[in-house]
Structure 1
Amino acid sequence: MAAPLVAVAHGSRDPRSAATIHALLDVVRELRPDLDVRAAFLDLSAPRLGDVLSAVHGDGHDTAVVVPLLLGRAFHARVDVPAAVAETQRRHPLLQVQVTDVLGPDPRLEAAAWRRLLEAGADPDDPNLGVLVAGAGSSHAPANQLVADVAERWQAKTAWAGAAATFASAAEPAVPAAIERLRARGARRIAVASWFLAPGRLPDRITDLTHDHAQNPLIATPMANAHEVADLILTRYTETLATTQTPHRLPAVL
């Protein structure tokens, strides 16, 4: 039996966020109905990662593969996920936990965000359009650069007046400054591409600020349950599982 896939998201007080993660994992299950797929969260939502891994062990598995539903290698990927896994393995030393790479960067994320933007009404051939590629923001500069790289690639392949990264917190430029930069390049209309998996406080902050500084902006929805993201999750799982021994179940205690 294949090792369970434990997908761990950050978590949010906004119930839309957890609901979206569960919807995304439903798509993963549609693609791999044979696979045991479980949701977990680092904070603010339940169940927590440690509890899910303990349940995996309690169900008789000796191997699990954790897939961080994170778009870059910022603090949560570098600190929070390894710490939660290490604590679980201290409590369950017979449980082998493999942690995959984060989701980004990957062309499938970019394809999902691009499709959401087009669905919101953005026209790649509109020379009057300025596009914000909006991410959470991080104190880890490489994570922010991933978002800026997306904006640069989109700028190069469209007729837009401009495309620029913007961040909800911890990084610059914030929305007002990014909009001003786009207007300086000739943008008369503003659209927002979402570099978020799920709705929540930070995407809402981006939306509110955009409405405060632009008239009738186009706002793309988060990537959410996009098939591209579900496919990427399975790729991360299979890549990591291929480096481990074939998992098996612990013998039943009689």
Structure 2
Amino acid sequence: MSAHVTHSTQAPALLIIAHGSRDPRHAATVHALTRRVRALRPGLRVETAFLDFDTPTVDQAVASLYLSGVRDVVALPLLLTRAFHAKSDIPAVLAGATSHLPDLSVRIADVLGPSPLLLATLERRLWEAGLTPADRATTGVVLASAGSSDPEAIAVIAEIAREWRHTGWCAVRPAFASAVLPRTEDAVRALRAEGVRRIAVAPYVIAPGRLPDRITAGAEAAGADVIAAVLGPSPELARLLLRRYDAAAPTQARIPALAA
């Protein structure tokens, strides 16, 4: 506990860890979201890092924070589900980045989903794409996620679709851009075959990239009536990041690899 007491007068820095992508729109979206988080919480040190493709890497970001005097960090995975990256990649990368910094405390916040704030962002994007709340009862929605080989992550997406359906939509079906079926176009065609007249596709992804483009292409190929934008740097998403930060900041212990 003594390590936390020493720095209790200063809020832990927030390190947002994104996946990274060869698509420059990905990093641009992450940085826009980071700026929004900073604007919501003036005075909080907020930095970004990427697992792959983009810089700074987690190693670079942690070293930079440490050299500037930071000794308490909340690492927040910019992920919607607890799949492989959240369970394995990020803890391992953080353990490596901090192994030679014994007086640095790092807590890992929960992933972003599921959350009502994510559903609020999904609906914000649908309204921006032309729907209105009055359209719920006559519109079927395809909740299109990137996909995962992790059964837990897939189950979470299916559960979100079930819960969202209870808010008044005609139907809500999950779809996946990779790893598992159905694909976006399959889900759109299935809804059409069931007689749903208006079909909207809502990408459950944070930033543009290869898989979100695949979602859009599938939606267009199957004749979806409305295709929403990705979640992006929405105000609700920025608030959600701070909610996850606040939940992690006061209570969670150091990551196990550091204790070991």
The reply to whether TM is greater than 0.5 is yes
In structure 1, list runs of 5 or more residues that go unmatched. 246-254
Q: Which moved more, 1:128-137 or 1:66-75?
A: 128-137
AA aligned to 1:240 is A
- In 2, Cα distance between equivalents of 1:124 and 1:172: 29
Q: Give the equivalent residue in structure 2 for 1:43.
A: 52
**How far has the Cα of 1:236 moved from its partner?**
1.2
Q: Please tell me whether residue 24 in structure 1 is matched to residue 42 in structure 2.
A: no
- In 1, Cα distance between equivalents of 2:192 and 2:132: 17
1:139-218 to 2 correspondences below 5 Å: 139-160=149-170, 162-214=171-223, 217-218=225-226
**How far has the Cα of 1:241 moved from its partner?**
1.2
**How far has the Cα of 1:128 moved from its partner?**
4.8
Mapped contact 1:168–1:202 kept (Cα < 8 A): yes
Q: Please tell me whether residue 91 in structure 1 is matched to residue 91 in structure 2.
A: no
Q: Please tell me whether residue 238 in structure 1 is matched to residue 253 in structure 2.
A: no
Q: Which runs of at least 4 in structure 1 moved beyond 6 Å after TM superposition?
A: none
**How far has the Cα of 1:41 moved from its partner?**
0.7
TM-score norm. by structure 1 comes to 0.90
- In 2, Cα distance between equivalents of 1:186 and 1:125: 19
AA aligned to 2:193 is A
Mapped contact 1:103–1:236 kept (Cα < 8 A): yes
- In 2, Cα distance between equivalents of 1:94 and 1:139: 36
- Say what the alpha-carbon RMSD is for the aligned residues: 1.7
Mapped contact 2:49–2:58 kept (Cα < 8 A): yes
Candidates 100, 112, 126, aligned match of 1:117: 126
- In 2, Cα distance between equivalents of 1:114 and 1:240: 27
Candidates 131, 136, 161, aligned match of 2:146: 136
Q: What is the percent sequence identity of the aligned residues?
A: 44
AA aligned to 1:242 is P
Q: Give the equivalent residue in structure 1 for 2:4.
A: none
The secondary structure found in structure 2 opposite 1:40 is strand
- In 2, Cα distance between equivalents of 1:106 and 1:154: 11
The secondary structure found in structure 1 opposite 2:99 is helix
**How far has the Cα of 1:227 moved from its partner?**
1.2
**How far has the Cα of 1:124 moved from its partner?**
4.5
Candidates 210, 222, 229, aligned match of 1:221: 229
